[in-house]
Amino acid sequence: MKVPRLWPCLLLLCAAVSATGRDAVIFSADAKAMRAAAEQGPDHFLTAARMNGWSAPTILSRWRAEKLAAPARRSAAQAARDLGGTLARQLAGLAPNIHALPPGEELRRTAATLCGLAEWCATTEGYGNALLAQRALDLAAVGVARLAADETFPLEQILPLAARLRQPLADAAARRRILNTEADAELFAVATQAGLEQTWAAGARDDAPEPLRAHRKFFTDERPGRGESVTLAVTWERKWHERIVDGLDLRSVALAVALVEFRRAVGKFPPATNGIANPAGGARPAAGGLQLVAPERAAPAGQQAFQRAWQAYLQTVAAPAARGTGAAMRVPDAAWEAFEAVGQGLFLDQDTRSERFGPGAR
């Protein structure tokens, strides 16, 4: 894909020292060029970013950006948010493709692009950066799972993708820094999941202790109402910091990685799983037309077949030294769940699942 050569990205780091000394917004002289590239899709954007050496700007929440004192800094923050909003909409538009493309090279390339976008966003810590990286990885996991469930697609082309399904900003320490930057104060002192949750709960109380009470507005989110969409593209302008507090780990990633690991270790999916007939007749069509027969939800036979195959693998010399650990024992169940979902065309990213079945659906 040809991309016009643009001037290298000129970055100015504008840091204003606030009462707590926390506030940094990266202003890019190429903000318009970056947004124009983003409007042409993730693949085009990543190509342009590599050619021009674009670094990911810090993408603050709208709530935080509007509180910046200097007009130039507010303008820079809004430019970064505009870029993020464009990427969020592009990802929403890409979701149907990741579910519909048949397992093959185009699906692999799309998943790789999504991994690349997640990695680019996560190179800089920021509220919007974390949410965009999470969204891109969620979609990438769908592609990886669908490729892994098709035994005709080469495993060696899937393994590198599975290794990239990680979110650096999901770490509690990174999320603590993001939250403190958003609050413009060192409110979150403990970099653990429990510590983040305890601070958020304390700050949201009517009788919040100091210094949390002085930042009460930070602990009041603009969560979607009942029946409203909770997708990233729709909620991009909302203040929803509790999402960062709750964590950025993705079930889709855990399931996709387990499915890849099962196929790598065992070599193939259990015959008992592939042989269960569809009561409606014929094989269940997965998204994109791939014909797979998944185990019945009401029958444990498929899951048991995965467990037996995994136990047999653990007895081999190729099995990891940690055989029998809790993590290892969870692999077959997660792999079976992923395989079943792919076979039924129900391995979905969380935004698509929310749109189809309602917020909170699993």
Q: Which residues of the chain have pLDDT under 50?
A: 1-27, 274-299
Q: Give 155: exposed, middle or buried? Use CB within 10 Å, 0-12, 13-18, 19+.
A: middle
Question: Token digits for 122?
Answer: 């996560």
Which helix (H) or strand (E) covers residue 292, if one does? strand 291-292
Residue type, 2: K
**Predicted pLDDT of residue 358:** 79
**Predicted pLDDT of residue 29:** 64
Q: What angle do CA 319, 320, 325 make, to 5 degrees?
A: 110
Residue in the block written with tokens 């002289």: 29
> What does pLDDT average to over the chain?
85
Give just the sign of the alpha carbon dihedral 256, 334, 355, 124.
Answer: negative
Q: What is the pTM of this model?
A: 0.84
Give just the sign of the alpha carbon dihedral 127, 131, 134, 136.
Answer: negative
**Predicted pLDDT of residue 46:** 97
Pairing between strand 284-285 and 24-28? unpaired
Which helix (H) or strand (E) covers residue 291, if one does? strand 291-292
**Predicted pLDDT of residue 271:** 78
**Predicted pLDDT of residue 278:** 34
Residue in the block written with tokens 């990239």: 164
Q: How far, in whole angstroms, is CA 212 from its chain's centroid?
A: 30
